[in-house]
Amino acid sequence: MILLIGIIPVTSTGCWNSRELNTMGIVGTMGLDVVGNKIKITLEVMKPAAGKAGSKAEGAASTMVNYVQGTGDSVFDALRNVTTKYDRKLFLSHIKFYIFGEEAARKGLIDYLDWYQRDHEPRRSSYIVVAKGTTAESLMGINGGIEPTSTDYLEKTFELRAANGKVAGITLLEFLKNYYGKGIQPVTGIISKVPKVNIKAKDETPSPSEISAEGTALFLEGKLVGFLNGAETKGFNFVTNKIKGGIIAFTIPGKEGMTSIEIVKSKTKNSVKISEEGIKLFVNVKIDGMIGEENSKVNLKNEEIIKELEKLSAAKVKEEIETSIKEVQNQYKADIFGFGLIVHGKYPTEWRKTKENWNEEFAKAALEVNVTCKITRTGLVDFPAGAKED
């Protein structure tokens, strides 16, 4: 009893390290740029007391957020320098996006990540993206959607990437895992500013720009080396088995109009074969899809027509995958797909011989892509619009 009386008061104490909400600067997005030999940090900080969404005009902060900056010799130094002009201690555990300017990424993104993986507050599950063609600062605060803050707008945009497959949603943990791994090079998502059409001319708070998340940033030894466009990113997502949905659009030879197949399910299995003839990469993809739109006026009740659509959709995906892999092989010589991981596990002896120059070996490897597509549904009707039956 004496022992319990001594333990209970210790285990039932209050939150000794608690922090009140109105004393914290909750950061949603963190941008990093290099200015000369200095590092500039830009932060989107939530206002806990704000009760409604405000203006979303480009360049102006919403009434729900503040934008603050700090410059220093290191990331940590720049963050601490924010406190010299901001009246809240920064709370970094709710950061959803790390945005890096293209210049910083090309100088060597990994050089700026020590603090992110060392400190206990930043989340490794947050998205990491590169500001294509510009600085992180210039993209902060742009909100072309409905969400009240730029952070929420970006988050929803990346969550919807399953609808098209043209976006690379990469977390800090994934980036670091691939950077430190053997046989694979890391990638990140990208964001860029694009013009926004103002349909409602009398809108009181128009936003002349919006954010596009289409594409992928490629890295070699921690430095940005180039970008993949939307179609090439889709091929990359197929190879890495990250396709959760999207559209396969193509034409039927001899017919007018487009056919669109919605991807219901996709499964990819990769392999590598090493022989006297050299290294050969294999990509095998199986797709289940449904007809989302058919403007070619073909008879969808005809099984032969369905089989033709399956072959054409498979050929389209094969073309996208081959284009993506060959572009990376020829232009960047960086194995972002992880074929080196397969060699490491399947051919340990050969891997020891090639691991130091695997990216060069990957660039020279032959490629074979096999894609099969099964159309399981035709939608609510089995005939195209405009077709007439007897």
- Environment class of 84 (CB within 10 Å of its CB; exposed 0-12, middle 13-18, buried 19+): exposed
Rg for the chain, CA atoms, rounded: 25
Residue with tokens 């009398």: 202
* pLDDT (tens digit per residue) in 311-359: 999 999 999 999 999 999 999 999 999 999 999 999 999 999 999 999 9
DSSP secondary structure of 71-109: EESSHHHHHHHHTTT-SSEEE-TT--EEEEEHHHHHHHG
Per-residue pLDDT tens for 246-294? 999 999 998 888 999 999 999 999 999 999 899 999 999 999 999 999 8
Percentage of residues of the chain with pLDDT beyond 70: 88
**According to the model, what pLDDT value does residue 91 have?**
86
Provide the pLDDT for residue 54: 43
Up-side HSE of residue 370: CA atoms within 13 Å toward CB? Answer: 6
Asked if the model's pLDDT at residue 135 lies above 90, the reply is yes
Please give the structure tokens belonging to residue 117.
Answer: 């993986």
Task: Quick: pLDDT tens for 188-218.
Answer: 999 999 887 776 655 555 557 889 999 999 9
Residue range 95-121: average pLDDT? 92
Q: Is the pLDDT of residue 387 over 80?
A: no
Residue boundaries of the structural domains of the chain: 23-228, 230-390
- pTM score, two decimals? 0.86
Q: Tell the CATH topology of 230-390.
A: GMP Synthetase; Chain A, domain 3 (3.30.300)
Pick the residue with more confidence: 146 or 243?
Answer: 243
